[in-house]
Amino acid sequence: MSNNYFKVIRSGINSTFQDKGRSNLYHLGIPFSGAMDTRNYLLANKLVETDLNNPVIEFAYQGPLLKYIGEKISFTITGDVSFKIKSKTSEIDGNCYETYEINNEDEIDILSTNKSVYGYLSLSGKFDVDYQWGSCSTNTKSNIGANNGKKFQNGQIINISKINKNFNKKRINYTNTKIEKIRVIKGTNFNYFSEIAINNFFKKEFKISKLSDRMGTRLEGPKLENINSTNIKSEGLIKGVIQVPGDGNPIIMLSDHGTIGGYPKIGVVISADYDRLVQLPSGSKIKFQQIDLSDAETLFKMYEMETQNLLNQI
């Protein structure tokens, strides 16, 4: 145990360490992982003036309750999150995208993400975590990454080092926008589906199922009828691919997805919409819209510029 640490009083539903993720390992079966919402992850680290690749705590729905032991440190939370900062003498409601100073024995109570899924906590210091293949990102399915590849447990200790003693308070104004129309590029097995299925895919609403997690977003809606084969020869997958298994319910691959899959691909979510897609909580209704490659590239360029502008404001 180091001199500065968090004690996890309540672990939250799915709290893990994440960073930018690990690349060049798909051929071994190891997923990319990393923070689900890249923009909010980057903003969290920029606000506390650390290296943008530093580990953060990612939480989903209900976050952790953390008791801090150690010398003065600042933290921030990004996303759309309700949280409280409790000291012996006061209790305040925190705002996202603002840094707060905490002292010995203060508590951060992350109550919930509001109409969204993921939030991020970063520090003006560094979490002492283990790295595997150049990343600390925890993949709980393969037990890879920080915290022995597991999500947070009640009672555990999180050590902190390299506290920046000259840190000055920061904040930005930012509100996350919600997405209702997910834009997709036609998949490589588009012609496996009936005309009715294609029509339904682009015209009807789909609901995000409770079974969604860091591996994938499962959707419920009109069953997409396959007229060719419900299996393909297993091949590589990437983030954003929409596979349709035999039951006709689409699944969108997210950051911890299996590296190989054998279901037909009806479409792929464009890169510009990924951060906002992962933030849709279960029960949300979405629609798909088809666009072409050059429009997707332009939209990503714009989204990237917006992210850079936000980072530059800090």
Partner 1 sequence: MIKNILNLGDAALYCDFGQDINREINSYVIKYFNKIQQLKIDSINNITPSYNKLIISFDLKKIKYNDLKNLIEKIQIDKDETLNKKILEIPICCEEPYSLDFYRLEEKLKLSKEQILKNFFNKKYFCYMTGFIAGMPFLGDLDENMRVQRLETPRVKVPKGSIGITEQFANIYTFESPGGWNIIGNTPMKVFDNSKEDKPNLINPGDTVIFKEINKEEYLNYE
Regarding 312 and contact with partner 1 (CB under 8 A), the answer is no
Q: Which of residues 104-163 bind partner 1 (CB under 8 A)?
A: 132-133, 141-144, 149
Q: Which is nearer to partner 1, 14 or 74 (CB)?
A: 14
SS3 151: coil
Q: Is 42 in the site for partner 1 (CB under 8 A)?
A: no
**Residue 309 engages partner 1 in binding (rule: CB under 8 A):** no
Alpha-carbon 281 to chain mean position: 12
Burial status of residue 311 (CB atoms within 10 A of its CB: 0-12, 13-18, 19 or more): middle
Q: Quick one: 275 exposed, middle or buried, by C-beta within 10 A (0-12, 13-18, 19+)?
A: buried
Smallest distance from partner 1 to CB 21, Å: 9
Cβ atoms of 119 and 39 within 8 Å: the answer is no
Stretch that binds partner 1, among 58-66, 72-80, 180-188, 199-207 (CB under 8 A): 180-188
DSSP helix/strand/coil, 252? strand
Which residues in 53-112 contact partner 1 (CB under 8 A)?
none
Q: Which residues contact 57 (CB under 8 A, 6 or more apart)?
A: 15, 16, 17, 18, 63, 64, 120, 121, 122, 127, 152
Binding mask of the shown chain, residues 269 to 288, with x at each position contacting partner 1 by CB under 8 A: xxx-----------------
Of 24 and 95, the one with the shorter C-beta distance to partner 1 is 24
To partner 1, the closest distance from the beta carbon of 93 in angstroms equals: 36
CA distance linking residue 312 with residue 40, whole number of Å: 14
With beta carbons less than 8 A apart as the criterion, state whether 94 and 77 touch: yes
What the block records as the tokens of 87 is: 């000291």
CB of 11 to partner 1, least distance (A): 21
Cβ proximity to partner 1: between 196 and 305 the closer is: 305
Closest by CA to 303, choosing from 42, 124, 26, 107, is 42
Question: Binding of partner 1 at residue 259 (CB under 8 A)?
Answer: yes
304 makes contact with partner 1 (CB under 8 A):
yes
Q: Which of 104, 188, 230, 290 touches partner 1 by CB under 8 A?
A: 188
Residue 296 makes contact with partner 1 by CB under 8 A: yes
- 151 versus 265: smaller Cβ distance to partner 1: 265
CA angle 282, 296, 25 (to 5 degrees): 70
Q: What residue ranges bind partner 1 (CB under 8 A)? A: 23-30, 32, 132-133, 141-144, 149, 185, 187-188, 233-241, 258-261, 265, 268-271, 293, 296-297, 300, 304
